[in-house]
Amino acid sequence: MRRTLSPAPTGSPPTKRSWRPKGSNASDGVIVHRGCAIPSGYSYDVPGDLWVRFEGDVARLGITDVAQTRMGKMVSIRFKRVGKHVIAGKSIATVESAKWVGPIHSPFDGEVLEVNEEGFARDILVANKDPYEAGWISVVRPDVLGSAATGLLSDEAAVEAYRRRIDELEISCIRCAD
């Protein structure tokens, strides 16, 4: 059974984003909707609030700005061990936060090659502060690279799907960090 995150409180105005992908500027690919950053160059599992960045034959995975807002401040994270095989829809990590405890699901089958234990050990709020770069969760080698993108959205399709989701959830993203 797939758990969903409970919505963040509504009514807060959108905030201006200071986050930008490395080497970018305000005009090159970060759409902000109700304060939620949706950068280009990523594929998205919109229902799972997960981003995927393909890097050759591996994929780096992390939570989206929407996910970190809905979760609230992270308290702890438990990673799937390096070398473990993960199944699509099953946990790659378990997060405990101020508002939620539950799994982060893998969007595809594959082997866990690397986890961001060091980043989270330095600052447990790293995914709250920088969900698309320093706050990545795992690097996975998909079993079948071409099919790994199945069900993921990118470019305009991802932006439109996230705009609808954000509006349906009636949330405005905030950085859940001090």
How does pLDDT run across 102-115, given as a tens digit for each residue? 999 999 999 999 99
Reply yes or no on whether the pLDDT at 2 is more than 60. Answer: no
- Say if pTM beats, i.e. exceeds, 0.85: no
Alpha-helix residue ranges (DSSP H) falling in the chain: 65-71, 117-122, 126-129, 145-148, 155-169
3-state secondary structure of 22: coil
Task: Please give the residue that has the higher pLDDT: either 23 or 116.
Answer: 116
Residue type, 39: P
Confidence of residue 16 (pLDDT cuts 50, 70, 90): very low
Reply yes or no on whether the pLDDT at 89 is more than 50. Answer: yes
Task: Please give the residue that has the higher pLDDT: either 176 or 77.
Answer: 77
- Which H/E stretch holds residue 112? strand 110-115
The chain-wide mean pLDDT, for the chain, equals 84
CATH topology for 30-169 is OB fold (Dihydrolipoamide Acetyltransferase, E2P) (2.40.50)
Residue 106 contacts residue 137 (beta carbons within 8 Å): no
Phi and psi at 69, nearest 5°, equal: -70, -45
Locus of tokens 């995927």: 52
Domain locations along the chain: 30-169
Residue 178 contacts residue 71 (beta carbons within 8 Å): no
Confidence of residue 146 (pLDDT cuts 50, 70, 90): confident
Q: What is the pLDDT of residue 130?
A: 95
